[in-house]
Amino acid sequence: MEISKELANLKKEINSFQNSFKRLKEIKELINDDEYISLALEELEEVRKDILLLEEESLFKGEYNHLNCYLEIHPGAGGTEACDWAQMLLNMYQRFCEKNNYTYEEVDVQKAEEAGVKSVTLKIKGDKAYGLLKNESGVHRLVRISPFDAGRRRHTSFAAVSITPLFSNNINIEIKEEDLKIDVYHSSGAGGQSVNTSNSAVRITHLPTKTVVSSQMERSQLLNKEQALAMLKNKLYLKALEENEKKINGLKNTDIAINFGSQIRSYILEPYKLVKDHRSNYENNEPEKVLDGDIKEMLLYNLQNIKGEQNG
């Protein structure tokens, strides 16, 4: 199924390239005739747009770029400030999905006591979801005047984003029952009164790797367990792939703390307005638009300009 889909995409790219080349030859003939110069320029603009789309497609040649993905957000230290920042990031990614024909499902949402979220997991589906979002993994930093500070002082908050490809169900990962710690608890998310009055939410800890996943948005404990196990398989499979790459390429461990100096991107609302990605040097002086989900330009720019294995 996936091979036939990839083949169809390749055929589509080849046809687009051949069609653009053919139209360029036709334009070359038109442009020599004064009567058709304006028509030739219009055609040339259309071909330019087609070529830009082909260039965009070329950014997604990685093995897993066509997959759907899980997106997780965890606030750093800082209590309510950090939890509210995590909520702002959640809103940003949800708005991005809505504006770009991606669908998302809230697999797990842990609300904070005063404001924001303590953790959240989204399942995002759509064309090349993982390929487009994979560079979002890392620490995101916010600088603003705190709405929770009566003294109107400037605060810095951190949150970590993690992107995991949603592999197919036939991935070869063995999970032993004795390696799992399974906890059930009351759901705090959407789903109706029946969800909130029963222990339907499930948290699974894989003891050997300390990997934790949770699901609470299904109405039954069984469905939440199935969802959580599927997420665990994806994480363990990705971990195995990363370990193999480290052995082959001698890659260093990239685990980082959620604090100063570790951020991949800064969102500054005070004393000036700026969004800056510290890996690609992308800058945008309209952070409000970025936080409203207008991030596709930045995502594509980062795919072109962030060097390393993840974009290989």
Task: Note whether 198 and 238 are same-domain residues.
Answer: yes
pLDDT tens, position by position, 212-237: 888 887 778 888 888 888 888 888 88
Rg, C-alpha atoms of the chain? 23
User: Residue 257 sits in a domain of what CATH number?
Assistant: 3.30.70.1660
Q: Which of 11, 36, 60 is the last residue of a domain?
A: 60
Lowest mean pLDDT among 46-50, 252-256, 289-293: 252-256
CB-CB neighbours of 201 under 10 Å: 26
Separation CA 198–CA 62 (nearest Å): 43
Domain count, the chain: 3
Region of residue 119 (phi > 0: left; psi between -120 and 50: alpha; otherwise: beta): beta
Dihedral pair phi/psi, residue 285, rounded to 5°: -95, 20
Separation CA 275–CA 288 (nearest Å): 9
Nearest to 255 by CA among 118, 149, 137, 147: 137
What pTM was estimated for this model as a whole? 0.71
Separation CA 104–CA 139 (nearest Å): 22
Domain that holds residue 35: 2-60
Residue 169 lies in a domain: no
Residue 165 lies in a domain: no
Q: What is the 3-state secondary structure (H, E, C) of 171-203?
A: CCCCCCHHHEEEEEECCCCCCCHHHHCCCCEEE
Task: Note whether 187 and 245 are same-domain residues.
Answer: yes
> What is the overall mean pLDDT for the chain?
80
Separation CA 3–CA 139 (nearest Å): 34
Task: Note whether 207 and 275 are same-domain residues.
Answer: no
Task: Note whether 257 and 274 are same-domain residues.
Answer: yes
Residue 188 lies in a domain: yes
Residue 168 lies in a domain: no
User: Residue 236 sits in a domain of what CATH number?
Assistant: 3.30.160.20
Task: Note whether 125 and 268 are same-domain residues.
Answer: yes
**From residue 295, how far is each of 31, 99, 110, 241 by CA, in Å?**
38, 10, 25, 28
Task: Note whether 192 and 143 are same-domain residues.
Answer: no
Burial of 70 (0-12, 13-18, 19+ CB in 10 A): buried
pLDDT tens, position by position, 106-162: 988 888 888 899 999 999 999 889 999 999 999 999 999 888 787 778 889 999 999
- What is the pairing mode between strands 103-111 and 117-125? antiparallel
